[in-house]
Chains A and B, each alone.
Chain A
């Protein structure tokens, strides 16, 4: 049963990713991206990452995608039909490079699964909380990764200042 749900979610993720790239209108692309984000969030849930599931829905589907939709409706860019594009060389190059990347990634995966370094070892020191719960996540975040967590506030501050500067009318 779990496998079936996993396969369905995976298919939805890949299909909606193709939709983002192939849809002629950018508002459809944005809605396909929403579809993709939700199916990936559900995949995270299937992998027992409950907090990341909630964060994905809130931050990506809730905040970032609304920003995307806002900008798409504000700018209202004309659609583009990539199959009717004149620049054939560019299109062929893009598809070739994507295929090469996919082959490289698939090769790495096959190496990892068959042979390769074994990754069957147990965690060094099992945490106090069961894997995947918010408690275990918070314990990792606020002890071992406290400094990176604090530094994210700096990243957000810089982004805030940057967007204000860029948005200012000259």
Chain B
């Protein structure tokens, strides 16, 4: 098994695990961490293909994904903190509307 095949398999498994985490957990913080897992799995696939083709486009894409992930983490965590300030307990099943 070549290294790109192996890293692609790892990427697929980590992505699926992240999806299960989003669906299974009820705590928005852990769901957020699972989304980060999925982003990282995609980054690994990008790097694998970039190495396969020998060009750096995939790596540039990974840098852009990193930026978007940072922005997403900041805004998402701010929303979670605002939610917690509002109702002291965080569970995604309790949240029905954007305006609480």
Interface residues of A (CB under 8 A from B): 2-3, 6-7, 10, 13-14, 17-18, 20-21, 26, 29-30, 33, 36-37, 40, 43-44, 46-49, 51-52, 55-56, 59-60, 63-64, 67-68, 71-72, 74-75, 77, 80, 82, 85, 90-91, 93-95, 97-99, 101-102, 105-106, 109, 112-113, 119, 121-123, 126-127, 131-132, 136-137, 139-141, 144-145, 148-149, 152, 155-156, 158-160, 162-163, 166-167
Contacts and interface: CB of A to CB of B under 8 A. Distances in A.
Interface string B13-29: 11111111101111101
Contacts of A20: 17-18, 21, 30, 33-34, 37
A89 B83 CA distance: 27
A14 B47 CA distance: 17
Contact of A60 (B13, B21, B66, B68): B66
Interface string B38-70: 001001100111111111110110111011111
B24 A49 contact: no
**A-B pairs with the 10 shortest C-beta distances?**
A159-B71, A94-B23, A98-B20, A21-B21, A166-B78, A102-B16, A105-B12, A140-B56, A94-B24, A10-B10
A126 B53 CA distance: 10
Given A20-B33, A98-B17, A109 B7 contact: no
Interface residues of B, number: 67
12 contacts: A2-B3, A14-B10, A21-B17, A26-B27, A47-B4, A67-B74, A80-B27, A102-B16, A109-B5, A122-B54, A159-B71, A167-B81
A52 B48 contact: no
Contact of A97 (B12, B19, B33): B19
Contact of B66 (A29, A48, A55, A167): A55
